[in-house]
């Protein structure tokens, strides 16, 4: 199951109370206070790990609580600190406060971690409150409660190149052609229901890029039409967008491009300005050269490069990939 968003309640551990105690030994009159400090509560930590690809392992984990600390004891013994609670997430996960939506952390690299709820501090024992005029303090500090909050985890896939287009534009077919990824391919809209990643290598692996295929966009996706904008977050990190245009479709090329750019801009204005290549697909099914000329005219008006390919016959694939690698700086 591909799960890219979960909501969790996190509670850090409470700090332990300080102890009120006095030294009582034979032949040691007025031994004085020796109450130990309470320990610190455990933190709740979110840590990125390459061992996870989705958030599905957190589907039924609605509450995460760190260990509470022990109270201080006599003979100046401090209480043990509470154990941290660690939540492992895939690399590329954004942690947000559920109520305000404020981002708390963006965990990209393996092992990168953030404390999302801090444990309470332990209270000081009465040994700390002895003074020349108050030599037998009969009080100590209580521990402070640990932080608690609701958080939302959002996964944004880490990819270099994003494939976007209307339904049936050939995104999944292209990804299967150029990589080892095997997304579902069929001749009906919305075959792709979840994002897929594929690695494209050159020169025996010396150069490689990660391509992301997301479900197709339709006009009105920003208000929930089709699959909406839910999966567009997965291309937010992409440096290059391949905007696929179906040359065999009855929809004019200019209209297809307008819909794509409008929906990208409605999700994130920076996506519409991201480095892009217009890719005309299904060249094997198009005999009218006017369609190619229309694509070139639209690309020229947008000041972006364009190319024509066929993922079935392989026409134009190598040229397109070299163009992508050149734009990415790995040409």
Burial of 72 (0-12, 13-18, 19+ CB in 10 A): buried
pLDDT band for position 70 (cuts 50, 70, 90) = very high
pLDDT band for position 188 (cuts 50, 70, 90) = very low
Q: How many beta carbons lie within 10 A of that of residue 3, not counting itself?
A: 14
pLDDT digits (tens, 9 = 90+) for 192-206: 557 788 888 877 767
* H or E element at residue 323: helix 317-327
Residue 18 has pLDDT above 90, yes or no: yes
pLDDT of residue 36: 96
- pTM for the structure as a whole: 0.80
Any idea which residue has 């391509």 for tokens? Answer: 211
pLDDT digits (tens, 9 = 90+) for 251-310: 888 998 998 888 888 888 888 788 889 999 988 888 788 888 999 999 999 899 999 998
pLDDT band for position 221 (cuts 50, 70, 90) = low
pLDDT band for position 225 (cuts 50, 70, 90) = low
Q: Specify the higher pLDDT residue, 221 or 216.
A: 216
Q: How many beta carbons lie within 10 A of that of residue 317, not counting itself?
A: 16
Q: What percent of the chain has pLDDT over 90?
A: 49
pLDDT of residue 224: 57
Instruction: Fold for 1-155, please state it.
Output: Spo0b-associated Gtp-binding Protein; Chain: A, (2.70.210)
Domain boundaries, the chain: 1-155, 161-327
DSSP 206: T
- CA dihedral 237→241→242→243, nearest 10 degrees, is 120
Residue 330 has pLDDT above 80, yes or no: no
Residue 159 has pLDDT above 90, yes or no: no
Quote the CATH superfamily of domain 161-327.
P-loop containing nucleotide triphosphate hydrolases (3.40.50.300)
Burial of 253 (0-12, 13-18, 19+ CB in 10 A): buried
Q: Calculate helix-pair angle for 317-327, 171-178, nearest 10 degrees.
A: 90
How far is Cα 2 from Cα 102, in angstroms, rounded to an integer? 24
């Amino acid at each position: 199951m591909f799960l890219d968003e979960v909501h969790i309640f996190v509670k850090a551990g409470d700090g332990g109370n300080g102890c009120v105690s006095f030294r009582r030994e034979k032949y040691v009159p007025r031994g004085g206070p020796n109450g130990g400090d309470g320990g610190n509560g455990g933190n709740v930590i979110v840590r990125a790990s390459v061992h996870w690809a989705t958030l599905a392992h957190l589907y039924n984990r609605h509450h995460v609580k760190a260990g509470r600390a022990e109270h201080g004891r006599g003979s100046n013994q401090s209480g043990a600190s509470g154990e941290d609670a660690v939540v492992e997430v895939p690399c590329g996960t954004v942690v947000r406060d559920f109520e305000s939506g404020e981002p708390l952390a963006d965990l990209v690299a393996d092992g990168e971690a953030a404390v999302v709820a801090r444990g309470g501090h332990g209270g000081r024992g009465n040994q700390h409150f002895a003074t020349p005029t108050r030599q037998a303090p009969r009080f100590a500090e209580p521990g402070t409660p640990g932080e608690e909050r609701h958080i939302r985890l959002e996964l944004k896939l880490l990819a270099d190149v994003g494939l976007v287009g209307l339904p049936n534009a050939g995104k999944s077919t292209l990804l299967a052609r150029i990589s080892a990824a095997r997304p579902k391919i069929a001749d009906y809209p919305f075959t792709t229901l979840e994002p897929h990643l594929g690695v494209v290598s050159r020169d025996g692996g010396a150069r490689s890029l990660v391509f992301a295929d997301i479900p197709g966009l339709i006009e009105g996706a920003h208000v929930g039409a089709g699959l909406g904008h839910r999966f567009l977050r997965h291309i937010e990190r992409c440096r290059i967008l391949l905007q696929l245009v179906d040359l065999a479709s009855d929809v004019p090329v200019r209209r297809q491009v307008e819909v794509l750019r409008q929906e990208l801009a409605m999700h994130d204005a920076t996506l519409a300005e991201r480095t892009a290549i217009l890719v005309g697909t299904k060249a094997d099914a198009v005999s009218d050269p006017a369609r190619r000329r229309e694509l070139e005219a639209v690309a020229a008006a947008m000041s972006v490069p364009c190319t024509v390919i066929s993922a079935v016959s392989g026409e134009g694939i190598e040229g397109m990939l070299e163009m992508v690698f050149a734009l990415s700086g790995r040409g």
